[in-house]
Structure formats: C-alpha cells, structure tokens
C-alpha cells in the first residue's frame, strides 16, 4: 500500500491546466487499489497572498465541489480542507525550528512571489515550503504528485525530514516527489511559453473547468500557434501546437503520438476546433455535476467534515510522535 498525498490551492478558478496537470492524475491514482490517497485544499497556503474574504470563501467551497465533480470520490480518498486540520499549523511551527532562513531565502517560488507582491512579503510567504513539508510529512506520504514548479519544495521537505530523522531517529517517512507523465504542463493558449495559470493577465489564455462551451470554443479558436503549417509534437519549436496536442490527447484519452498522427494534414484552424470540441465534451459532465453539488452546501460541508476527521486522526499520531521525540511533556487526557 502506498500513501499518495497532494494538495491544490483554492484560489481563483480551477483551470484546465489544474485539471490535466494535477487533478486528472489524482483520479488515476485513486483508481489504483494499492494507493491510499489523501488530497487537500491548501487554504492555509492561499492566505500568503491577500484574499478578499467573500471570494476566498466562495472559491474554497467551489473548489471542493469541483474536486468531487471531476472525479475525486470521498469514499475512496480523503478530501479535506487543510485549515480544518490544526495539526498542519502546529507541525509547521515545529518544523520551522529545523529549517534555516537561508534555505527559505533561496526558494525560487519565494523569490518570484516576493517580486510580484512587493507590498506584502509576509512571513507566511517565506514559510510556505515549511507548511507544505508539514502537509506531506503528517501523513507519511510515499509519493507526492506535483508540477515542476513544486519540485524544489519537495526537495526541501525531504531535507527537513532527513534532518529531523538524523537528530531523533526515525520520525518521518521521507517522501518522493513525482511528475505524472500525462499532460504534466499545460501552457497558456495565448503565450504557450508560459504555464496556464489562473493569474494569467490575459483571460483568453486560460480555460476554466466551468467555462461555458461557447467560451471554450472561442478561446481555442484564438489560441496562439506559429507561422508554419505542419502539425507536429515539438515543444521546443512548436510550443503552441504541442500544447494543443497535449490537451487533445488527454481530452480524447489517447497518447500524444496517436493524436499527432490523426491530425496530420489538418489546418491549424481545424485542429483548434477539434481540440475545443473535445475539451467541451470532457468538461460537460463536470459542469453539470458541479452545479448539482454546489447547490447542496450541507452535503459538501458534511463530506469535508468527514475528510477532516479522517485526516486529523492520522495527523495526530505523527505530530505526537515528533513532539515526544523532541521532549515535550505530553498533555494528559
Ligand atoms: N504548493 C502547492 C501548489 O501550489 C500546493 C500544495 C500545498 C501541495 N501543500 C502541498 C502540493 C502538499 C503537494 C503536497 O501547487
């Protein structure tokens, strides 16, 4: 049995990139009976950047409903809000005392985000990777599926775990990060050199999993390609076309090679229509399931509560093990 752990921030919209790059792979891992899967909405991470309370609340609930709508099954996996499980914050504090300021200062994401939010370089932004380490280590995760941009955070998680284990013996399982093969990186439709991101200033570059079919078609028709006419999977030289082929492969459940072969001879405009239509069909059932779920808040909150209870039970054991190794006097009762 392998423990799989991953999380996503409930900020903004869930993009097609989030689905293909992350959540779709979570579905696949959930389907394997040898995996015990735990997935969190990393809402404590989200407040490292200032959020409007009403939007944050709505986005968080909406993300929970979306995770269920696109395929996570709360009877198979643990799906919960990070903020519902206090052990995350507590372990993050403890781990802070085993993490060096210099290490955090070197984190690429911290440097990028500091440059982007110069007026709000808060301690949480710097401490982000330590909270992430706490997430992962609490559950004794074997494998942590993430995107490329998070690999450095997995590395630091491993360093911290090894450091603690060196001092106190075998406290933490040292996790492995991995990049799922399928559609690891979906790029912006308007700037295929950069990742499809909910914070993309150009909304035409980003597909939301809840976009209406007409909107999806319009965005694909405007997708940036190149001045060539050849359809080929060549991410180096044909970033736009390669991105479309990668999306098409996932939407049609085929390999990139297969869709590349099938699309030979198509004009770029026809390729874009085909990708758009396939994406519309892939997302259609998600939207209707989402509409059904979001209308039943009591049910969503009940699922989240069950998830948090299951998560806490596991997290508490790890936290106590570490606290006792450090030498804290245990609280009685
Ligand atoms: N930082 C991750 C991201 O933005 C989300 C995340 C938070 C995460 N905690 C995690 C991912 C633990 C994997 C494991 O993508």
Does ligand 1 lie within 6 Å of residue 146's CB atom? yes
Instruction: State pLDDT tens for residues 250-276.
Output: 999 999 999 999 999 999 999 999 999
Does ligand 1 lie within 6 Å of residue 42's CB atom? yes
Ligand 1 centroid, distance to 136 Cα (angstroms):
9
Does ligand 1 lie within 6 Å of residue 138's CB atom? no
Cα-to-chain-centroid distance, residue 259: 26
Closest approach atom of ligand 1 to CA 153: 1
pLDDT, position 76: 97
State yes or no: pLDDT of 293 exceeds 90. yes
Mean pLDDT score across all residues of the chain? 95
pLDDT, position 12: 86
Residue nearest to atom 2 of ligand 1 (CA): 8
The arithmetic mean of pLDDT across residues 217-245, rounded, is 96
* CA-to-CA separations, 253 to 15, 245, 283, in angstroms, rounded: 18, 12, 13
Does ligand 1 lie within 6 Å of residue 127's CB atom? no
What CA–CA distance (Å, rounded) separates 233 from 256? Answer: 8
What CA–CA distance (Å, rounded) separates 106 from 108? Answer: 6
Bin 253: left if φ > 0, else alpha if -120 < ψ < 50, else beta. left
State yes or no: pLDDT of 55 exceeds 80. yes
At 206, is the secondary structure helix, strand, or coil?
coil
pLDDT, position 313: 98
Ligand 1 centroid, distance to 5 Cα (angstroms):
9
What CA–CA distance (Å, rounded) separates 298 from 318? Answer: 31
pLDDT band, residue 47 (cuts 50/70/90): very high
Q: Give the catalytic positions in this structure.
A: 113, 195, 198
pLDDT, position 183: 56
Quick one: three-class SS letters along 242-264? HHHHHHHHHHHCCCHHHHHHHCC
Residue nearest to atom 14 of ligand 1 (CA): 6
Place of tokens 């001092």: 167
DSSP state of 49: S
Instruction: State pLDDT tens for residues 171-212.
Output: 999 999 998 876 568 999 999 999 898 888 888 999 999 999
State yes or no: pLDDT of 70 exceeds 80. yes
pLDDT, position 21: 87
Ligand 1 centroid, distance to 171 Cα (angstroms):
22
Statement: the pTM of the whole predicted model exceeds 0.85:
yes
pLDDT band, residue 148 (cuts 50/70/90): confident
């Amino acid at each position: 049995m392998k423990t799989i752990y991953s999380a996503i921030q409930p900020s903004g919209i869930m993009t097609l990139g989030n689905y293909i790059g992350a959540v779709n792979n979570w579905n696949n891992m959930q389907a394997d009976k040898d995996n015990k899967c735990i997935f969190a909405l990393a809402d404590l991470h989200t407040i490292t950047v200032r959020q409007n309370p009403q939007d944050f609340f709505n986005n968080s609930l909406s993300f929970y409903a979306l995770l269920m709508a696109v395929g996570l099954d709360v009877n198979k996996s643990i799906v919960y809000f990070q903020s519902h499980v206090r052990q995350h914050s507590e372990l993050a504090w403890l781990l802070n005392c085993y993490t060096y300021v210099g290490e955090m200062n070197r984190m690429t994401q911290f440097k990028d985000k500091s440059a982007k939010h110069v007026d709000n370089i808060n301690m949480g932004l710097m401490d982000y990777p330590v909270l992430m380490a706490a997430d992962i280590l609490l559950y004794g995760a074997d494998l942590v599926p993430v995107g490329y941009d998070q690999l450095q955070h997995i590395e630091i998680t491993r360093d911290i775990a090894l450091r603690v284990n060196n001092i106190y013996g075998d406290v933490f399982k040292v996790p492995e990060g991995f990049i799922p093969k399928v559609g690891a990186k979906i790029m912006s439709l308007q700037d295929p050199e950069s990742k499809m991101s909910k914070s993309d200033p150009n909304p035409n570059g980003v597909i939301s999993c809840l976009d209406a079919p007409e909107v999806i078609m319009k965005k694909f028709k405007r997708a940036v390609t190149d001045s060539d006419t050849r359809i080929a999977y060549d991410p180096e030289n044909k970033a736009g076309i390669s991105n479309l082929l990668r999306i098409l492969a996932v939407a049609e459940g085929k390999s990139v090679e297969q869709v590349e072969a099938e699309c030979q001879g198509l004009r770029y405009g026809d390729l874009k229509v085909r990708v758009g239509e396939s994406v519309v069909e892939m997302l259609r059932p998600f939207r209707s399931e989402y509409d059904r779920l979001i209308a039943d808040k009591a049910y969503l909150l009940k699922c989240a509560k069950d998830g948090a209870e299951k998560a806490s039970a596991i997290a508490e054991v790890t936290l106590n093990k570490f606290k006792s190794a450090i030498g804290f006097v245990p609280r009685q009762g």
